Amino acid sequence: MTNQQTNILSVDNSVENLKEHPLIQCAATQLASNEVVAFPTETVYGLGGNALSDQAIERIFKAKGRPSDNPLIVHISNKKQLQHYVKHIPNSARKLIDAFWPGPLTIVLEHNKKLSTRVTAQLSTVAVRMPDHPVALALIEAANVPLAAPSANTSGKPSPTTADHVRKDLAGKISTIIDGGTTGVGVESTVVDCTSETVMLLRPGGISKEALEEIVGVVEVDPALVAADHTPKSPGMKYTHYAPDAPLQLIDGSTDFFRKIVEDAINNGKKVGVLVTEENKGLTRANQEVILGKRSDLSTVAQTLYSSLRSFDKNVVDIIFTEVFPETGLGSAIMNRLKKAAGGTIIKQD
């Protein structure tokens, strides 16, 4: 798996009939040979492999350094494909599919054992979504198989939102990277479990809990999202994720409190990085300041979150401090990722 030649294929998203594009066909041939291919989605770049092949799935785990007991999300290119891999599609799932597919919503259902058991980590359920990106849909259609695809990064590091992020993490470990430009949403899909009577939110993401409830009524929240002593059920939530090179701490308080925490660290000889919104730029004397979108528009924060976490230079800073955000709407997804990146470390103002 190491020192493999990695080809980078630049594909124009606006080209008509992308499925027949020579570079998409080339990548599909790689997938047919059980190689793994990184490709853009509307959320982050995914690392795709044939979801029916144990060999392909093993290559995904090895390339990422991902624990093998962590299930993968399966990507399909049309709604009808779902019935080939699950036992039953309940009414709640059908409503959500009609409302949000293609899009950043992953649905957990009982599978029918046609997928590789490596995809499902021996569970009775599988997580499936239909991405809203022309390159992703064309690649899945050209490959003619469902693609298991976690984020295309080294396990535990911030997810990739550009092909260059993928290259830095996985060059030499995978066969192909499709460069389709920067992703849109910036954080991973929302994951919901539809195997019970009431829909359960397993991972916040590009679609808010409030938006889900407009479609299916009350949505419960996985206890693991609010209590550390519960094991999460969602793919991608079991282990530490999104961590930058230097330790990250969240500061929950006023701007004066934020400034004081940073100044105290500087006075104690620390080289400090800060992750702040445009509204608070220039607030501190930090060694490295990274602007994280606009606080007044959290979609801009989500779009730049992972690239911002990746931009800190471990040779420049010893510690990173970040603002916190309201845990409603898209803010829930942003805070979920920041808390995971910080290992739950939050400094709160009394």
- Is residue 70 marked as binding? yes
- Is residue 66 marked as binding? yes
Of 69, 67, 33, 68, nearest to 50 by C-alpha is 33
- Is residue 142 marked as binding? no
* Spatial contact of 337 and 242, defined as CB atoms under 8 Å apart: yes
- Is residue 45 marked as binding? no
- Is residue 151 marked as binding? yes
CA dist 139 and 242 (Å) reads 26
> 332: which residues sit within 8 A by CB, 6+ positions away?
204, 208, 209
- Is residue 149 marked as binding? yes
Of 188, 203, 175, 258, nearest to 41 by C-alpha is 188
Amino acid letter, 5: Q
* Spatial contact of 147 and 50, defined as CB atoms under 8 Å apart: yes
- Is residue 242 marked as binding? yes
- Is residue 84 marked as binding? no
- Is residue 259 marked as binding? no
CA dist 173 and 176 (Å) reads 9
* Spatial contact of 38 and 19, defined as CB atoms under 8 Å apart: no
* Spatial contact of 189 and 236, defined as CB atoms under 8 Å apart: no
- Is residue 310 marked as binding? no
- Is residue 300 marked as binding? no
Phi, psi of 46 (to 5 degrees): -105, 155
- Is residue 296 marked as binding? no
**Tokens of residue 160, six digits:** 């990739």
Of 52, 235, 65, 211, nearest to 150 by C-alpha is 235
Q: Where are the beta strands (DSSP E) in 14-119?
A: 37-40, 45-50, 73-75, 105-110
For the annotated binding site, the residues are: 43, 66, 70, 75, 125, 129, 149, 151, 159, 189, 203, 242
For the annotated binding site for ATP, the residues are: 66, 70, 125, 151, 159, 203, 242
For the annotated binding site for L-threonine, the residues are: 43, 75, 129, 149, 189
